[in-house]
Amino acid sequence: MRDVPSEVIRIQEVGMRDGLQSAGQFVETADKIQLLNQLSKTGLSKIEVTSFVSPKAVPLLADAEAVLDAIERVPGVIYSALIPNIRGLERALAVDLDEVNVVMSVSNAHNMANLRMTCDDSLDQFREICTNRGSLSVNGTLATAFGCPFVGSVDPSMVLEWAKRYLDVGIDSLTLADTVGTATPHQIFGLCKAIVDELPEIEITLHLHNTRGLGIANALAGIDAGIRHLDASIGGIGGCPYAPGATGNVCTEDLVHALIFDGYRCDVHLDALFEIALQLEGILCNPLPGLVRQAGTKLTTHPMSDDLRCRLGIP
């Protein structure tokens, strides 16, 4: 029997950015605002609201400023946005925001495909962002930390090296991303444990994709290694357009269900997540990948048919 940590496991919602950027259709600004307002009241610790990238590159999030200007903020929730460069920072500084998230792949091949620059060039941009961020916190995501779609496996020592280089330029917190969902639980445990042990004072988030069905198992392995912050995506939507084969993030409601019923402290309202996922499914007009909402929770039961009751001798 695994030891369940006494600390709260904090769930951070990324579906409104990571999910909607690859949804295949533009979700109306008013719908985004309504979904975000509902998500803010579910007990999530952080919400990545949007992305300040070029509207030409990601037209589905072209309304970033309008969304951030209109949402209702709940005390205690951290509101974050992804930025790719100093221009993104300028836009972020002009709105009400708590944190910016910068992303670099530890694989040069994927970084070139995703950002059109080397890892060292990305780090130079992050240094400039940290110098000019004002009061904003900066989270640094290490993408392809567990494997790259172009070169395969990634040496854990290289991930640790890049994590330290991130901190050297002034980044406040780290995210380890299994961008294409190649990781296995033992791999997750090994790398997370090494980084948690090496950088005990730094808040570390685990960002997982469920590409090969191991998302929740990997999340539990990360918790065993000392991770207390997990990214997840409402309904399981998401994917990386520059990572062939990548599918959706770990589903928020499926992850919360697993944590709650396995005895972890997770202060997120599951029923509220079900309602939001159902609403999002209607907006996208497509079934969402999440499973628990369809099957019901662990406590769900179904009535026996009259025929079966009769055969079993049950009145």
Residues 267 and 269: their CA atoms lie apart, in Å, by: 7
| CA 70/CA 49 separation, integer angstroms | 12
Distance CA 85, CA 69 (A): 21
Q: How far is CA 115 from the centre of its chain?
A: 19
**Burial class (CB within 10 angstroms; exposed 0-12, middle 13-18, buried 19+) of 126:** buried
Tokens of 196: 């948690």
Chain centroid offset of residue 13 CA:
6
Options 130, 240, 251, 266, the catalytic residue: 240
- Write out the two tokens for 73: 């903020």
240 is catalytic: yes
Query: Residue 150, Cβ neighbours under 10 Å: how many?
Result: 16
Dist. CA 248–CA 236, nearest whole Å: 5
Pairing of the two strands 204-208 and 46-51:
unpaired
Q: Catalytic amino acids?
A: 240
